[in-house]
Amino acid sequence: MRDAPISGHTQVFGLIGHPVRHSLSPSMYNALFARFGIDAVYLAFDVHPDHAIRVNESIRILGLVGVNLTVPFKERVLDGLDHMTIAAKEAGAVNVVTNVDGQLTGYNTDGEGFIRSLKEEKGPQPDGIHAIILGAGGAGRAVASALLDHGAQRITIMNRTLLRAQEAAKALNSSIGDTRVDAAELTAQSFSVVAKDAGLVVNCTSGPAHETINSLDPEVLSKDASWVDINYWMEHPPAVESCRSAGIRFHTGLGMLAHQGALAFELFTGYPVTGAEIRTFLLEKG
């Protein structure tokens, strides 16, 4: 709970996306600010996608010290950044932007947050794995890039629009100088073909793909495979029941949220905090 009043010296951070009303980020970050005695406040900004071109300049004009980005802005702000990390370039998306004297630097903590959560939850080891990424957006590419960095043998990106999956695969292969990433159309038939030797499935699609994800059959996966849905706010994520019926371990996106949030908080403030601490907080709030 914040003790000091908000003043003209209070630093402002925020989440920019659409929609964001469901987000746990404001309560999470504000609790961390209070814990460390930081004079800062974190807000959620629901910005219509039509205004994407104005996001970077708004950060500068309003003097926001740092922001988290969610759909649909992770890819749309790239051209307006002054600097970008290698991880962000590989992912083709940023989920954290810091503002230092008007210079905007883009980071991507999604991928490393995912890897840390997978390890914490005793999921499959990335090294040598064939992973299927459902969705070719910024989050999917970040997860794919991190898995490759940690030794994944093969990544298959599946998307309802095949061309977008192919473009994501091409960009990742170009970045790593390899051909370990392929693409497929996101259909039940295609999934049954490509998933037979997969040890990990990660759903990075948004709500409109819910029906398609439910049509996929986890029975084709090996019994030691895991299924992760990064949409942490969904009470009943698609495919959760079919995974449980098939004996496939199902992970929610809460762990990824916690670990990427811990990484982002350190970028914002310089104060380290663990993903496990944030997960405990989120579970108590939930």
pLDDT at 59 > cutoff 80: yes
Question: Of 149, 196, 145, which is closest to residue 157 (Cα–Cα)?
Answer: 145
pLDDT at 147 > cutoff 60: yes
pLDDT grade for 207, boundaries at 50, 70 and 90: confident
Question: Of 170, 199, 196, which is closest to residue 182 (Cα–Cα)?
Answer: 170
Per-residue pLDDT of 174-202, as tens digits, reads: 988 888 999 999 999 999 999 999 999 99
pLDDT at 275 > cutoff 90: yes
pLDDT grade for 255, boundaries at 50, 70 and 90: very high
pLDDT at 53 > cutoff 90: yes
Cα distances (Å, whole numbers) of residue 167 to 155, 164, 227: 14, 5, 24
| Per-residue model confidence (pLDDT) at position 278 | 92
* Residue 196 is a catalytic residue: no
pLDDT at 1 > cutoff 60: no
The pLDDT of 143-156, averaged and rounded, is 96
| Per-residue model confidence (pLDDT) at position 286 | 61
264 compared with 232, residue with greater pLDDT: 264
pLDDT grade for 237, boundaries at 50, 70 and 90: very high
Q: Which two tokens stand for residue 34?
A: 């209070």
How far apart are alpha carbons 88 and 53 in whole angstroms? 19
The pLDDT of 242-270, averaged and rounded, is 95
Q: What is the DSSP letter of 52?
A: G
Q: Which two tokens stand for residue 81?
A: 């950044």
Beta strands in the chain (DSSP E): 11-17, 40-46, 66-69, 83-84, 96-100, 103-107, 130-134, 154-159, 181-185, 200-203, 226-229, 249-251
Question: Of 245, 241, 181, which is closest to residue 214 (Cα–Cα)?
Answer: 241
| Per-residue model confidence (pLDDT) at position 2 | 63
Instruction: List, in sequence order, every residue forming a beta bridge with 17; answer none if it has no partner.
Output: 46
CB 97 within 8 A of CB 70: no
Contacts of 111 (CB under 8 A, 6+ apart): 87, 91, 142, 143, 144, 145, 146, 147, 149
How far apart are alpha carbons 216 and 65 in whole angstroms? 42
Q: What is the DSSP letter of 188?
A: H
Domains in the chain and their CATH numbers? Answer: 11-108+256-285 (3.40.50.10860), 111-252 (3.40.50.720)
| Per-residue model confidence (pLDDT) at position 90 | 86
